[in-house]
Amino acid sequence: MAVKYDETKKIWVLETQNTAYSFGLHASGKIKHTYWGKKILRFEDYPAFEGYFESPWWDWNDEYPVRGAANQTEPCLQVMYEDEVRDVQLTYKDFETTKDSLTIHLEDEYYQLLVRLQYQLYEEEDLITKYVTLENRSHSDISIENFKTGSFYLPPTEDYLLTHLTGMWAHESRVVKEPIYEGKKVFESRVGRTSHFHNPFFAIDEKATEDTGNVWFGLLAWSGNWKTVIHKLPYENIQICTGLNDWDFNHALKQGETISSPRVLYGFTNGGFGDMSRKLHNHEINRVLPKENAQKVRKVLYNSWEATAFNVTEANQRILADQAADIGVEIFVVDDGWFGRRFSDKAGLGDWVVNEEKFPNGLESLIEYVNSKGMDFGLWVEPEMVNPDSDLYRNHPDWVLHFPNRPQTESRNQLILNLARDDVKEFVFNTVDGLLEHYNIQFVKWDMNRPIFEAGWPFEGNQRKMWMNYVTNLYEIWKRLKVKHPQVIMESCAGGGGRIDLGIMRYADQFWTSDNTDPLDRQLIQEGFSLCYAPKTMMGWVTDWGGKETYSLAYRFHTAMMGSLGIGSDLSKYTAEEIDETKEWIAFYKKIRETVQHGSLYRLISPREKTFTANQYISIDKNEVVLFCMKNPTPLSMFKVLRVRLKGLDENAHYEIQGEDKVLSGSYLMNRGLDVDFVQKHTVKVEKGNHFDSQVLVLKKKN
């Protein structure tokens, strides 16, 4: 049994294969955290409140801390009752359990606010999710001012490091590690999407490496405003509090109404960051990604953006489609510019009708052509947005988020439709559904290019509910689209990687990782992405960013191949030799993609720490290993030799390095390691300026 209750100690223990998360009913009547870490072998040994520092003045370690009584930790719940009482007093009622789930019922009895703490265990995967539901059983509205998902606690030590992902447009998901000092550290989004600035992920480790050490981690499944507070408490533990952002948040919970928080997926490992990531990747593929496409390999994609920008026409897309089909592309995607008066970013957003000047025969003719070349057809949309210069805005100026008597700040000449409104929700659903019904579209790149500011919803009472309703409506639209068109691959993009999280992943098959396709930058962005999200959800394009002279085609391909592969270059500018090489790399990727997309990732060398990057993917049956090694120039790195020790192999088995006629044992490969021979090993700077280099090796187990 995974959920266990100790009647005498009054503690609940949520056990997965290797971990345990536990809390208990304290003498004060509060539910308090008691343990999070490796599973303890004897059930009787799980702690209750031994050593808990009781204070007559302060209160801490509540499993669901509130603004109320003497709580001194960051509250997950702040409400105001009708009589302006803002003090929440939760009493434990009872609990319900199944083999792998637990619900704890709490209540603020006087005001009849019910709080359900809900837990779901994934025993085999060593992961748990938790979320909270509120129910108003009183006769008046309850004003919810702060509604977070939950709190975690770690015992005090000096050795913790906090790992998080930070960035901006074009350099998303950069890994940062830092000590945890007294006070609070806040990560958040206040822009209505997950954001480029921070990803809703935390990890706290005790001297962990990729392969060893304790790591406690969590990911919030939310694509709007969120907030995580890391709080080093004066006395007891370190608290991590995560959920919806309380900034500009308010929800009037009507009588009889319930509201649920987003989920947080969390876990513990003593196997370092590599194990954390593999656990998350595995869970995402098996449990989070939309079922229809989760186990299918992602096809090689071509996207028109870098080649033709807004100037897409049937004529130029046909030429690109010819070239794409020739090199082995499987999905051809027409990006921005195909609709309305969209000749630049100044007009047309919102008018989702095909531009007849650019496509005189409609889109059908191009789609048929693309299909006749054996490729699927994909389309870019940005349906949450509107240019003021559009028919949609002229007809529905009231649909955009704005405050009366205040300027409307444009970003990329865009305003934002208020997706929290039901009429806007229906418009957005019908727009995309209409396109999918009408055309043979197998791929949608759904963009959201600007942040939300000035989030007014004129004439609506309790306007601040917009932040939450915007996201729940977005999910509803994507869900309805997925139900009607399950086979269509949906890509979540927000000016690059501004909407990457587990919330949208329930409906999105993949993400556009970043607008930055410079391969060296990408290695850093991809490293951060891979900490949390499965490589198959990470779309990478080969482009000419950074310059063809700087990076060889092989280097660019090797970087993009570490997830799902796309091509974004203007192929008409490629020489015959480059086209031939492109064909070879795409054919090669198709051979290894099963292992890259569905295997286990081992990050062997981090581009943050060394002058090399090395990533190894091993198939589930351990029969195939794909090893990517990149040599990145820094002073004197020309002369460095790379030796990599592989991981996760079968030590008794023998592996043949493809194309090298060399057979080595798993034991040798993991202990002695491979010396990676780069092509440019012996050229020196004076001969060749470009000394980025890369090598990909495939090893197959011999029977």
Out of 46, 131, 475, 512, point to the residue binding ligand GLA (CB under 6 A): 512
Q: Is 224 in the site for ligand GLA (CB under 6 A)?
A: no
Q: Return the DSSP state at 339.
A: B
**Using CB under 6 A, which of the segments 229-237, 469-477, 488-496, 610-618 binds ligand GLA?**
488-496
Query: Residue of minimal CB distance from ligand GLA?
Result: 336
Residues 701/654, Cβ–Cβ less than 8 Å: yes
- Nearer of residues 411 and 606 to ligand GLA, judged by Cβ: 411
| Cα–Cα distance measured from residue 236 to residue 84, given in angstroms and rounded to the nearest whole number | 32
- Residues of this chain, 332-371, that bind ligand GLA according to CB under 6 A: 335-336
Q: Return the DSSP state at 169.
A: T
Each residue 513-542 as x (binds ligand GLA by CB under 6 A) or -, in order, gives --x---------------------------
- β-pairing, 376-381 with 443-446? parallel
Q: Which residues does residue 271 pair with via DSSP β-bridges, in sequence order?
A: 213
Q: Is 464 exposed, middle or buried (0-12, 13-18, 19+ CB in 10 A)?
A: middle
Residues 239/152, Cβ–Cβ less than 8 Å: yes
| Cα–Cα distance measured from residue 16 to residue 39, given in angstroms and rounded to the nearest whole number | 8
Is residue 447 part of the annotated active site? The answer reads yes
- Nearer of residues 237 and 526 to ligand GLA, judged by Cβ: 526
- Nearer of residues 331 and 696 to ligand GLA, judged by Cβ: 331
Q: Which residues does residue 128 pair with via DSSP β-bridges, in sequence order?
A: 121, 266
Number of Cβ within 10 Å of residue 96's Cβ equals 11
Q: How far is the CB of 343 from ligand GLA (least distance, A)?
A: 12
| Residues whose CB is less than 8 angstroms from the CB of residue 107 and which lie 6 or more positions away in sequence, other chains included | 90, 91, 93, 113, 114, 115
- Residues of this chain, 544-563, that bind ligand GLA according to CB under 6 A: none
Out of 468, 493, 525, 567, point to the residue binding ligand GLA (CB under 6 A): 493
- β-pairing, 415-416 with 385-386? antiparallel
- Nearer of residues 305 and 557 to ligand GLA, judged by Cβ: 305
Q: How far is the CB of 487 from ligand GLA (least distance, A)?
A: 22
- Nearer of residues 380 and 399 to ligand GLA, judged by Cβ: 380
Q: Is 447 in the site for ligand GLA (CB under 6 A)?
A: yes
Out of 108, 275, 515, 544, which one is annotated catalytic? Answer: 515
Q: How far is the CB of 223 from ligand GLA (least distance, A)?
A: 16
- Nearer of residues 380 and 655 to ligand GLA, judged by Cβ: 380
494-497: long-range pairs with CB below 8 Å, 24+: 494/193, 494/194, 494/196, 494/447, 494/448, 494/449, 495/169, 495/196, 495/447, 495/448, 495/449, 495/450, 496/169, 496/170, 496/172, 496/196, 497/167, 497/172, 497/173, 497/196, 497/525, 497/529
Is residue 376 part of the annotated active site? The answer reads no
- Find the angle CA(385)-CA(388)-CA(390) to the nearest 5 degrees: 85
Q: Is 305 in the site for ligand GLA (CB under 6 A)?
A: yes
Residues 150/132, Cβ–Cβ less than 8 Å: yes
**Using CB under 6 A, which of the segments 492-500, 528-536, 638-646, 681-689 binds ligand GLA?**
492-500
Q: How far is the CB of 449 from ligand GLA (least distance, A)?
A: 5
**Using CB under 6 A, which of the segments 118-126, 425-433, 489-497, 554-562 binds ligand GLA?**
489-497
Q: Return the DSSP state at 480.
A: H
Each residue 371-390 as x (binds ligand GLA by CB under 6 A) or -, in order, gives ---------x----------
Q: How far is the CB of 499 from ligand GLA (least distance, A)?
A: 10
Q: What is the dihedral of CA 470, 471, 472, 475, to 10 degrees?
A: 120
Q: How far is the CB of 310 from ligand GLA (least distance, A)?
A: 7
Q: How far is the CB of 497 from ligand GLA (least distance, A)?
A: 8
- Nearer of residues 62 and 335 to ligand GLA, judged by Cβ: 335
**Using CB under 6 A, which of the segments 223-231, 284-292, 490-498, 622-630 binds ligand GLA?**
490-498
Out of 449, 510, 550, 695, point to the residue binding ligand GLA (CB under 6 A): 449
Q: How far is the CB of 184 from ligand GLA (least distance, A)?
A: 33
| Cα–Cα distance measured from residue 643 to residue 619, given in angstroms and rounded to the nearest whole number | 22
Q: Dihedrals φ, ψ of 496, to 5°?
A: 90, -130
Out of 447, 501, 521, 544, which one is annotated catalytic? Answer: 447
Straight-line distance from the first to the last Cα atom of the chain, in angstroms, rounded to the nearest whole number: 39
Each residue 612-651 as x (binds ligand GLA by CB under 6 A) or -, in order, gives ----------------------------------------
Q: Is 542 exposed, middle or buried (0-12, 13-18, 19+ CB in 10 A)?
A: buried
Q: How far is the CB of 411 from ligand GLA (least distance, A)?
A: 12
Q: How far is the CB of 172 from ligand GLA (least distance, A)?
A: 11
Three-state DSSP class for residue 698:
strand
| Cα–Cα distance measured from residue 516 to residue 497, given in angstroms and rounded to the nearest whole number | 10
The alpha-carbon radius of gyration of the chain (Å, integer) is 27
- Residues of this chain, 3-42, that bind ligand GLA according to CB under 6 A: none
Residues 127/120, Cβ–Cβ less than 8 Å: no
| Cα–Cα distance measured from residue 157 to residue 232, given in angstroms and rounded to the nearest whole number | 10
**Using CB under 6 A, which of the segments 58-66, 313-321, 357-365, 491-499 binds ligand GLA?**
491-499
Out of 495, 528, 540, 563, point to the residue binding ligand GLA (CB under 6 A): 495
Q: How far is the CB of 94 from ligand GLA (least distance, A)?
A: 49
Tell me the site size for ligand GLA, rule CB under 6 A.
Answer: 11
Least Cα distance to 153 among 209, 212, 233 occurs for 233
- Nearer of residues 336 and 624 to ligand GLA, judged by Cβ: 336
**Using CB under 6 A, which of the segments 203-211, 400-408, 493-501, 677-685 binds ligand GLA?**
493-501
Residues that bind ligand GLA in the complex, under the rule CB under 6 A: 305, 335-336, 380, 447, 449, 493, 495-496, 512, 515
Catalytic residues: 447, 515
